[in-house]
Structure 1
Amino acid sequence: MSGGTERTSYSLSFGFQDDKGLLKNDVLKRYNGRISLDHKINKIFNVGVNVSYTFKDQDKRQNPLNLANKIPCIGRAYDDNGNFILNPAPGNSSAFSPLCDEQPGAYEDNIRTKRMFASGYLNVNILKDFFFKSTIGIDVTDSREGIYKDKNTVANLGVKSTSSVQADNDWRYTWENILNYSKTFGKHGLTAMIGSSTTAYGYEKVLASGANQASALTSFHDLGANADSKENASQLIETQMVSFFGRLNYKFNERYLFQASLRADGSSVLAKGHKWGYFPSASAAWRISEEGFMADQDIFSNLKLRLSWGVAGNSAIDAYATLGGLKKSVYTFGSSVYGYYPSEIANKDLTWEKTSTWNLGLDFSILRNRISGTIDTYISQTSDLLLPSLLPSSTGYASVMQNIGKTENKGIEVTLNTIWFQNKNFSWNTDWTYSLNREKIKALNSGVTRDEGNLWFVGSPTQVFYDYKKIGIWQLGEEAQAKAFGGFKPGDIKVADMSPKGSEGEGVFSTDDRVIFSRVPKYTFGITNNITYKNFDLMFFIYGRIGQYVKDAYTQLYKPSALENSAPVNYWTPENPSNEYPRPNSGYSTNSYLLQSSLAFRKASFVKIRDITLGYTLPKEWTSKMMVQKLRIYCSLNNFITFTDFPNYDPESNGSMDFPLAKQVLFGINLSL
């Protein structure tokens, strides 16, 4: 809802969401509200405020489906008297009923989150050509998660009850001040800006937990009643960023445009003497369509060529990474004594990660703006990447944060808008986006070319998998070839031989047969169609991500023994020569099964119709009688249609076992007073 007067405008919005998950007692309720107010005091001063508040109350569930696979098909949930059966499979102590968490008082995982964001601004028209704006904002989130698990639950399987409470509080304050200058004289235009910003961030956590609680009636609200395993922990993080920046723009005759800028950023998380970074940029543009030689043509209504260069900085690392950390450890010799030992190496040289980027772009509009768009091609070089470097175990440390190596990104981005039809009663336009990026590591620390522990390889992207490539299953009739390759048998996993033809390693299984799978898509695209007919409007958005691999976590539930699988498994047998899963073999565990990890890598390309929205705007003759300017009702369908070869729930989940994106049906009203 929005409205106002000549000097004052306001808007209000309220929302309520009630989502029920796939399992019982899996619920999320969300309440949110927002208010904004802008007021013009006089010709010099304008002020405004914006406040939003959100409250979430969520009850979460553990996944009980894997327990169901341990129960024979003749297992019963309830006995003849209607009493719950905790163990429907006598003889298997871990085969608890998947309904155990749903019993009264057995399980609770409740999260309550309150978030408030407030901002205000002051605009001052100091002189004719000077304009000052000051903005201040605060973002505060308070969250509490309480968990109680009875001993007879999915997690505890009859051992003992556990409970915990964690309280999280984080806050972010920002204050930005900008002074603008603008002047036009003849064919010349000049604008300048100087400013500063300050950001302070803090996070505090308190955690308490225990086990063997005396009564389930108090859930997680009486942790002092736990008999043993009492623990507590707390954490405080505070960081600051201070920035100063300036920009100068010049244009001549609306044809030639130039810009230069410089910013200085100081980050508290970097090492002493390296906290400040300086980042320049420059750009130039030529509006070709404004030249005299373009006056007689009627194809291009806009044509602009752009070239830019700039340096950006990154200091996104954990607070206190430059300090050496300590951890507590217990030593028992008659009695327990606690001590501390160094757990992290201090790095007193951590500095800014820097990325230098060149960009060449073209803006165009043709056929009287019926077709318009932009084409950008870029190349960026990043140096001194802030990454953890693995250390030999002999050092006593796992890793150290360092400035490591160089990467390169090349790509092209295209946006296009097409207007197919446009008249009084009917219109149809389409927005197209396309993005292609090629990333590779140019250098690693100390001149090495590969770091298998971190999965970094010179010439490859930074986000990859490194493993064997499954190409099928060894079949009957391939006994000799399978044995020669590595002692395999029909029914074993068959992987690609990556050794060059004629080399010594050809035809022999070895660690050199591992290949690199990219986790980054080759390209992404989006298509948004907007259609209107009289008072009706229709929008549908199509999104695609092509060429990436994911590691499917559901393969972790695959059992070589063919027992307790959580999904149907098409095993190889002599009668069923499948190329999907190897022969059942109870002699191997899930983790030690030869080449089992190669089953996990899946192509996760997809195309989704992500959003379909149909709306209707009431005629003005109707709304005028209701004393409103505009009233629109709409219905949206989200995440309803996906085209993919990915075998599990959602290719956008990146292979995790998290719940997939929910299909949603939304009804709403847009109201303007």
Structure 2
Amino acid sequence: MRKDHALSENVFNPLYEASLSSFDRVFQRHAIGFARIYKENSGPYGDVTRSRTAGAFFSGNYAFQNKYLLDASVRVDGSSAFGADRRYAPFGSLGIGWNIHKESFFRGANVISQLRLKGSIATLGSISFPAYQSRSIYLYDTQHWYSTGIGATILGYGNSNLEWQKTRTTDVGMDIGLFKDRIVISPRYYYKLTKGLITDINLAPSTGFSTYKDNLGDMSNKGYELYLVAQVFHASDWNINLTGNLAHNVNKIVRISDALKAFNSNIDNFQTNKDNNAFSTPLTRYVEGKSLNTIYAVKSLGIDPENGKEILVKKDGTLTYIWDVKDVQDVGNTTPKAEGFFGSTVSYKRFMLSFSFHYRFGGQAFNQTLIDRVENADPRFNVDSRVLEQRWKQPGDHTFFKNITDLTDTYVSSRFIQKDNLIELQSLYLSYDFKPNAIRRLGLQNLRLAATANDIFRASTIQAERGIYYPFARSLTFSLLGSF
């Protein structure tokens, strides 16, 4: 628990009718933090955070002969988490469906057992942050008492214009069942437009606060998905099922706020300041018309075989050896062409085996390991073997890394961007169910012996050192499950 109590300076009528003074008196009478007697050199503490939501909605659905389907809803919601002028917002959704396989002209089809067309359009809202982060909040300071009572300081920087983050989604798809639904294929296409995307905006330290909440602008997402469920083989002792999906998504910044425009103008200074340790890392820039996953760096043509220096490309197309933040531009994108999973469940008598693969291809990634642990590593100390073996040493060397005697820092460039293709076996499960007759003498109804393994196999176009930023471990677990 926090040591102090957070109290909002605003009220949310009619959702919150208590006045500031009356709530203040009630809190001071009952809050444990205002106890008069407690252990020496210590004190009790507690906190209370109040928020209010209110709304009204209507929803309905209709189906005609199980062929034509309709769902609709309309609602209005309000929340005390938003600015005083933007607390209420309307939302709605509409969905339609057509079961073509129920039509008379479709009867008698042998191969296609199910054919359904569906579509929807909806607007949704989001409250993804605590209420006290978007309003001017006072924090009681129990360490300072004055003649008029306890002291208080401002905890957060309020934004009375903060409004709901709204996402309008348009979705069309179909379900196709083949051979009495032994194979079901579900393709889908969607388009999402998020307006008023809420994020943290940096403030000057002189204001007394580091960030505040604001609507950064609008962002769109569009893409497609494909799902497959198939019963590949079925017999008295055998059963083989296959599942998988394929997805592709592209996002684009449609509009940015004035606050983000100011952020973009300051990001160059932030990257060139070595105290921030950001000179060798691609930083996010918010550019209208560009993807949020865009990689920004200076273009590079690699290492010059004559002198071991990096050849950089300026924005006007000329070549240089000198890195300049003004030449940072769009050089890649981390969005894959497609990604997803596929797996299978195989059962034979009392044995069952299931596994799941994850894959992605067509995207790019900035290999931070190469620049931090090889290029910018000091060869005079304990380093990666590539620092000594794969760096430029003499004229005529064609290498990926710069001159081994050059101990200056390498700044972010496209030289470290690599293709990001991956396939990995994430999980494997094997089990055996004992026969009931064999375990009945033990008073058991069921007994299963199982083994589970994770992260068994991984193949990637990027050789990255794993476990640097998060724990990495392969595990193998055995279990014995029984029921009486």
TM over 0.5: yes
Structure 1 residue 469: Cα displacement: 4.0
2:462 to 622, 643, 646: 646
In 2, Cα distance between the equivalents of 1:620 and 1:350? Answer: 63
In 1, Cα distance between the equivalents of 2:88 and 2:76? Answer: 7
2:399 to 576, 579, 588: 579
In 2, Cα distance between the equivalents of 1:554 and 1:341? Answer: 47
SS at match of 1:238: coil
SS at match of 1:582: strand
In 1, Cα distance between the equivalents of 2:364 and 2:76? Answer: 37
1:494 to 2:311 alignment: yes
**Aligned ranges for residues 262-277 of structure 1 at < 5 Å?**
262-277=74-89
**Contact 2:231 2:241 survives alignment (8 Å):** yes
Partner of 1:420: 232
SS at match of 1:248: strand
1:380 to 182, 186, 192: 192
Go from structure 1 to structure 2 and tell me whether the alpha carbon gap of 1:264 and 1:366 turns closer, same or farther (over 3 Å shift).
same
Deviations 1:330-373 (A, max 9, x none): xxxxxxxxx99989642111111000011001011012222112
1:298 to 2:298 alignment: no
Go from structure 1 to structure 2 and tell me whether the alpha carbon gap of 1:631 and 1:261 turns closer, same or farther (over 3 Å shift).
farther
> Pairwise CA RMSD of aligned residues?
3.6
Go from structure 1 to structure 2 and tell me whether the alpha carbon gap of 1:530 and 1:311 turns closer, same or farther (over 3 Å shift).
same
Partner of 1:621: 437
Partner of 1:480: none
1:665 to 2:437 alignment: no
1:514 to 291, 310, 329: 329
SS at match of 2:233: strand
Structure 1 window deviating more from structure 2 (613-622 vs 635-644): it is 613-622
SS at match of 1:320: helix
**Aligned ranges for residues 63-142 of structure 1 at < 5 Å?**
none
> What code does the residue aligned with 2:425 have?
I
**Aligned ranges for residues 421-460 of structure 1 at < 5 Å?**
421-446=233-258, 452=264, 453=267, 455-460=285-290
Partner of 1:174: none
Go from structure 1 to structure 2 and tell me whether the alpha carbon gap of 1:586 and 1:632 turns closer, same or farther (over 3 Å shift).
same
2:349 to 526, 531, 534: 534
TM-score (norm 2): 0.74
**Contact 1:522 1:548 survives alignment (8 Å):** no
Unaligned regions of 5+ residues in structure 1, if any?
Answer: 1-141, 143-165, 168-223, 225-231, 328-338, 477-489
**Contact 1:431 1:528 survives alignment (8 Å):** yes
**Contact 2:377 2:383 survives alignment (8 Å):** no
Structure 1 residue 376: Cα displacement: 1.0
Structure 1 residue 550: Cα displacement: 4.4
2:162 to 319, 330, 350: 350
SS at match of 1:531: strand
In 1, Cα distance between the equivalents of 2:419 and 2:109? Answer: 48
Structure 1 residue 573: Cα displacement: 1.1
**Aligned ranges for residues 445-484 of structure 1 at < 5 Å?**
445-446=257-258, 452=264, 453=267, 455-476=285-306
In 2, Cα distance between the equivalents of 1:640 and 1:265? Answer: 47
**Contact 1:438 1:522 survives alignment (8 Å):** no
> What code does the residue aligned with 2:353 have?
L
Structure 1 residue 426: Cα displacement: 0.8
Determine which structure has the larger strand proportion and give its number.
1
Go from structure 1 to structure 2 and tell me whether the alpha carbon gap of 1:344 and 1:519 turns closer, same or farther (over 3 Å shift).
farther
Structure 1 residue 255: Cα displacement: 0.7
**Aligned ranges for residues 123-272 of structure 1 at < 5 Å?**
236=47, 238=49, 240=51, 242=53, 245-272=57-84
Structure 1 residue 319: Cα displacement: 3.7
In 2, Cα distance between the equivalents of 1:448 and 1:664? Answer: 44
> What code does the residue aligned with 1:641 have?
F
In 1, Cα distance between the equivalents of 2:261 and 2:86? Answer: 28
Structure 1 residue 263: Cα displacement: 4.0
In 2, Cα distance between the equivalents of 1:555 and 1:447? Answer: 32
1:606 to 422, 426, 431: 422
Higher relative contact order (CA 8 A, sep 6+): 2
**Aligned ranges for residues 7-22 of structure 1 at < 5 Å?**
none
In 1, Cα distance between the equivalents of 2:48 and 2:422? Answer: 39
1:287 to 2:287 alignment: no
Equivalent residues, number: 410
Go from structure 1 to structure 2 and tell me whether the alpha carbon gap of 1:266 and 1:522 turns closer, same or farther (over 3 Å shift).
farther
2:176 to 364, 377, 383: 364
In 1, Cα distance between the equivalents of 2:50 and 2:342? Answer: 40
In 2, Cα distance between the equivalents of 1:524 and 1:515? Answer: 23
Counting aligned pairs with the same residue, the percent is 22
**Contact 1:449 1:458 survives alignment (8 Å):** no
Partner of 2:281: none
> What code does the residue aligned with 2:448 have?
R
In 1, Cα distance between the equivalents of 2:479 and 2:379? Answer: 49
SS at match of 2:105: helix
In 2, Cα distance between the equivalents of 1:340 and 1:586? Answer: 55
Structure 1 residue 668: Cα displacement: 1.6
> What code does the residue aligned with 2:224 have?
I
Partner of 1:407: 219
> What code does the residue aligned with 2:380 have?
L
1:595 to 405, 408, 411: 411
Structure 1 residue 447: Cα displacement: 11
TM-score (norm 1): 0.55
**Contact 1:548 1:604 survives alignment (8 Å):** yes
In 2, Cα distance between the equivalents of 1:241 and 1:424? Answer: 59
Go from structure 1 to structure 2 and tell me whether the alpha carbon gap of 1:283 and 1:364 turns closer, same or farther (over 3 Å shift).
same
Structure 1 residue 390: Cα displacement: 4.5
**Contact 1:467 1:514 survives alignment (8 Å):** yes
In 2, Cα distance between the equivalents of 1:395 and 1:243? Answer: 33
In 1, Cα distance between the equivalents of 2:337 and 2:46? Answer: 40
Go from structure 1 to structure 2 and tell me whether the alpha carbon gap of 1:366 and 1:586 turns closer, same or farther (over 3 Å shift).
closer
Partner of 1:631: 447
Go from structure 1 to structure 2 and tell me whether the alpha carbon gap of 1:626 and 1:256 turns closer, same or farther (over 3 Å shift).
farther
Go from structure 1 to structure 2 and tell me whether the alpha carbon gap of 1:587 and 1:368 turns closer, same or farther (over 3 Å shift).
closer
Partner of 2:28: none
Partner of 1:545: 360
> What code does the residue aligned with 1:457 have?
V
> What code does the residue aligned with 1:530 have?
T
Deviations 1:193-213 (A, max 9, x none): xxxxxxxxxxxxxxxxxxxxx
Determine which structure has the larger helix proportion and give its number.
2
